[in-house]
Each structure stands twice: as C-alpha cells, then as structure tokens.
C-alpha cells in the first residue's frame, strides 16, 4: 500500500490567547483524540514557547489516536494572529519541513466561523479574552472589525468586562459609584480582604490581561442574580459586540449568518442572551467548539466531503452538539 493511502487522520489546532485545543478525527469526522494546553498567540507569547506548546499537543493527540505523523492527511492550525505574514513565516519555518503541503494555516477566527458554517461564508463574532468580528464572503473576500488588542480595543470582551467590573468595585469603594454585589465576588475571587488590595493583586500579576478576563463570568453571574451594576456592564458589552458584527456585515455588503464564538458565547450566558435578543441579523450558535472548525477545515482543504454524517460525528464532540444542531436562532 502506498504511503499516501495510509493517511486517514486529520489534526486541528485552535489556539488563542488563553488556551490551545487540539483534536484528531478520521475521515468520517469521529473524534479520536483531544488535548489542551496554554495559549498559543505568537503576538503575546515568545515563539519558542508557542512552538513547544503546539508540538506537545500534536504528540499528545497522535499518541491518543494511535496514529503516526505520516498517517495524517491534513493538519490545520487556526491560531490567533496567523493572518499576519510574520506569524505565518514563523509557523512555516517551524513546521513546513515535516508536514509539507498537509499543513494549512489561518486565523483562529476562521476556525470559529467554520464550526458554525462548515466551510461556508459568514461572519464570526468572537467574545473571549479579546473581541473581533471577521467576515468571509461567498467570493472569498475577507473583512475584519475590531481585534485591536486590550490596550486600544477588545470592546465587549472578557478582559473588557473584567476591567470594567474592577473599576466599578473601586468606584463603589471610593464612594463615587453604586454599591454592587461584584465587590464581594471579586474580593473572594482574587483572594484579597478589601477592594483596595485588588490593585496590588492585579498589577503584580504576570498576566493581568488573563486575570481580568477571568472575572468576566462573575459579572455575568451577578447580572443573572439581578445586580444592577453588573446588568449595565453586560448590556454595554452586548452593544459593543453588536456594533462589531453590524459594521462587519456592512463591510461585507451581503446578508450573512453571524456565528457566535469565544468563551463568553460558548454557554448560555446573560451576555449571549442579550446579543441574541438585540441582534438584527441571523445568529448561529455553533453545534461544536472551534477546534472542530479546524478539523472541518483540514478535511475540506484535503478534498474530503463534509456531508451530514461527518458533521454529525464532529458535533458529538460537544455535549450540546446534537441538542442545538447549529441551527439559526
């Protein structure tokens, strides 16, 4: 049997600023391996560390699947920042020699989009540690709105929500702002005794961006419990995210479904509910996480079909996959 005939595995890697997820599937879409590691954004971590993370995840997945590297027919990296030439060069220099034409590289937004459109055109609205909206049109053109990073952008993101929450708690502590349940929640979350101690805790952190993004879920919980301050923060975040999506739709110039992605959209959060309630476009809640979009891209770009049976197998990856089916909502 020729070596090309032995290749039957597909490997997808979804890498963002906070974590990286890798998975292996067969040509039928059945998931055979799953692994997770640290973030793999080459723009926020040194490349040697990113490469180490990626190689460890590849080894782990192949080991779980009982697959050899030469049996992998397609490998798709969906990494934050990978649409930038300098990042693509780093990835190619590190992996092209061993993977050759089997290696495909694109931005992690494409992976998130494909988890909702299965390779079709659309817009992905991501609200995770950061925020961005990206469009891929039927003619292959691309548009992006936002994604400018936490210093000057990332409106409506986990970082933005967390930062706004800490600011609200400190205003209340000063007597300049409204009392909020977020005070007790954040003090407990960060392991301090009083709100003023949050400053040393956050400014002394090696990764304050991730620390603040981790508080976003607390804002959502406080809003669900009826806290007025948290409710306003969630509504403001939803408005910012809707602005990203609507601006991206205008740039695309055609009616496209909008896939909701990122950690803040993955579950039935108050933020996701607010976006769905206020959206003036077709919103898609994906049937599976973004790493399955990487697998779909690996399959599609290798010329394998993404028929209903394959999509169903990929959706089984996610406990809610068969329940929501990725339908328009």
Ordered per-residue pLDDT tens for the chain, 329 residues = 344 445 589 999 998 877 899 999 999 999 999 999 988 888 778 899 999 999 999 999 999 999 999 999 999 999 888 888 888 899 999 999 889 889 999 988 888 999 999 989 999 999 988 899 999 999 989 999 998 888 898 999 999 999 999 999 999 999 999 999 999 999 999 999 999 999 999 999 988 988 999 999 999 999 999 999 999 999 999 999 999 999 999 999 989 999 999 889 988 999 999 999 999 999 999 888 889 999 999 999 888 988 999 999 998 864 333 333 333 22
List of E strands, 65-186? 72-79, 103-107, 122-127, 131-136, 142-146
Cβ–Cβ < 8 Å for 2, 42 = no
d(CA 36, CA 50): 13
Domain boundaries of the chain, sorted by first residue: 3-120+287-324, 122-255
Cβ–Cβ < 8 Å for 77, 91 = yes
Domain 122-255 grouped into CATH 3.30.70.260: no
What are the helix (H) ranges across 131-269?
158-174, 182-190, 198-203, 208-213, 216-224, 228-252
Six token digits for residue 323: 């329940």
- For the domain spanning 3-120+287-324, the CATH number is 3.30.420.40
Rounded to two decimals, the pTM is: 0.82
> Residue 297 is inside which H or E element, if any?
helix 290-301
Q: What is the pLDDT of residue 317?
A: 61
d(CA 129, CA 115): 19
In the chain, helix, strand, coil percent, each to 5?
A: 50, 20, 35
Reduced to 3 states (helix: H, G, I; strand: E, B; else coil), residue 31 is strand
Six token digits for residue 10: 């597909």
Please state, in angstroms and as integers, the Cα–Cα distance from residue 177 to each residue in 174, 218, 292, following that order: 7, 19, 44
List of E strands, 55-118? 72-79, 103-107
Q: What is the pLDDT of residue 143?
A: 94
The total of other beta-carbon atoms located within 10 Å of residue 191's CB is: 8
Would 3-120+287-324 and 122-255 be classified into the same CATH topology?
yes
């Amino acid at each position: 049997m020729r070596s090309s005939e032995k290749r039957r595995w597909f490997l997808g890697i979804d890498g963002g600023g906070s974590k990286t997820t890798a998975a292996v599937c067969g040509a039928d879409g059945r998931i055979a391996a799953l692994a997770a590691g640290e973030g793999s954004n080459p723009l926020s971590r040194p490349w040697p560390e990113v490469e180490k993370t990626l190689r460890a995840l590849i080894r782990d997945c192949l080991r779980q699947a009982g697959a050899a590297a030469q049996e992998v027919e397609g490998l798709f990296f969906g990494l934050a920042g990978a649409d930038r030439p300098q990042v693509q060069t780093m990835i190619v220099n590190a992996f092209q020699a061993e993977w050759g034409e089997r290696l495909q590289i694109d931005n992690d937004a494409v992976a998130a989009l494909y988890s909702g459109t299965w390779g079709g055109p659309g817009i992905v609205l991501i609200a995770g540690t950061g925020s961005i909206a990206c469009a891929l049109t039927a003619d292959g053109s691309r548009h992006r709105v936002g994604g400018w990073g936490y210093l000057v952008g990332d409106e409506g993101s986990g970082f933005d929500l967390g930062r706004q929450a800490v600011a609200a708690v400190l205003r209340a502590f000063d007597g300049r702002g409204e009392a909020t349940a977020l005070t007790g929640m954040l003090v407990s979350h960060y392991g301090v005794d009083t709100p003023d101690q949050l400053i040393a805790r956050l400014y002394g952190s090696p990764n304050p961006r991730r620390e603040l993004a981790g508080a976003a879920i607390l804002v959502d919980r406080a809003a669900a419990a009826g806290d007025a301050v948290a409710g306003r923060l969630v509504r403001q975040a939803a408005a910012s995210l809707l602005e990203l999506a609507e601006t991206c739709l205008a740039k695309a110039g055609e009616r496209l479904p909008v896939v909701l992605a990122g950690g803040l959209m993955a579950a039935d959060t108050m933020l996701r509910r607010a976006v769905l309630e206020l959206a003036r476009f077709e919103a898609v809640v994906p049937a599976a996480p973004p790493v399955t979009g990487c697998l779909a891209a690996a399959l599609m770009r290798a010329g394998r079909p993404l028929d209903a049976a394959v999509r169903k197998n990929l959706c089984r990856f996610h406990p809610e996959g068969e329940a929501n089916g990725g339908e328009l909502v």
